[in-house]
Amino acid sequence: MRQVISLSSEAGLARAMNTARSVLLTSYALRPGTMLESLERAARRGARVTVRLEGHPYGDTGGELAAANKRAARELRRLGADAKLVDTNARNGPALHMKAAVCDGVAYLDDRNWPERGDTIVRDDFRADVSAIRSAALRGRAERTPEFSTDKRDALWSERSLLAGAHNAKHVDVESESFGAGSGVYGALKTLAESGVSCRLIVSRRDLNDRSKRALTALAQAGVSVRVSDSDEKMAIVDGTRGWIGSANATSAFANGDQIDWGLRTDSPDVLRHLSRRFVTTWQAATPYA
């Protein structure tokens, strides 16, 4: 695999936004905070700021996320930005779950929704990846490069294929905010555990439901060590030498396959060391799944 990616941070992305002439950002949710403030500053100083936010967040029963996105888009437009909501009806774009930014041709990829601290942000200057992000964000058209995807189905296929090729591995670690039996990740983990590979899985406590519990119980019975936590990161690591990170949850894609998301496979040592540390920290604080 190529090694053109590196770790960044919220601060690193904020610095890039402070000087960039062109800023593109997508997110499932954009709440008040550092990221929104950085976008506002960029718009005020005359940068070309383009923002696309999900208009119909899944499970947003109280409408809080949709309202926050609407307020953010409205304020950014007031400052001169091209800020829009997508997926508000059947005609203006697929569901947008991708958390990505592009500053002057360099991509910054987040597996969460740009939280205030402690986040993993990957910097990627590979032109084809940046082009794929722009296509997905601005035209709702997903693209795939050898290690990068902007569609949930492709992103999960990439994660599953990483695990499917790990039959000779010693250790496999996976984390997902949500989890289900229809993602392909489930089957790959089950096969690995049954063949004797040491597998650990972390899922978010708040996203547990009857379906995910049945899947987790079956994995535990197959030999996967399962824990639940308050974390919502998404990653897969094989022997600390190969990995996957993305914004796509290990659940079934929508029936029509329409969800803009991202997934990246990498063998970058810095990124893998960071992900391994993050996983271990979360694992130690997590609760065994009963």
Q: Which two tokens stand for residue 128?
A: 């084809």
Q: Compute the distance between CA of residue 286 and CA of residue 204 in angstroms, rounded to an integer.
A: 9
**Mean pLDDT throughout 14-31?**
96
CA 163 from centroid of its chain's CA atoms: 18
Q: Which two tokens stand for residue 217?
A: 């119980």
Determine contact, residues 261/58, Cβ cutoff 8 Å.
no
What H or E segment, with its residue span, contains residue 120? none
Model's pTM, two decimal places? 0.94
Determine contact, residues 101/30, Cβ cutoff 8 Å.
no
pLDDT of residue 89: 83
pLDDT of residue 290: 80
Task: Indicate the residue type of 119.
Answer: D
CA 233 from centroid of its chain's CA atoms: 8
End-to-end CA distance of the chain: 38
**Mean pLDDT throughout 77-103?**
93
- 3-class secondary-structure state, position 146: coil
Give me the DSSP letters along 176-225.
ESSB-TTSSHHHHHHHHHHTT-EEEEEEEGGG--HHHHHHHHHHHHHT-E
What H or E segment, with its residue span, contains residue 262? strand 259-266
Structural domains in the chain plus CATH codes: 5-141 (3.30.870.10), 152-288 (3.30.870.10)
* Phi–psi pair at 109, nearest 5 degrees: -115, 130
Express each pLDDT in 114-158 by its tens digit.
Answer: 987 778 999 999 999 999 999 999 999 999 998 999 999 999 999
HSE-CB for 150 with a 13 A CA cutoff: 27
Express each pLDDT in 217-255 by its tens digit.
Answer: 999 999 999 999 999 999 999 999 999 999 999 998 754
Q: To the nearest 10°, the Cα dihedral for 109, 112, 117, 123?
A: -10
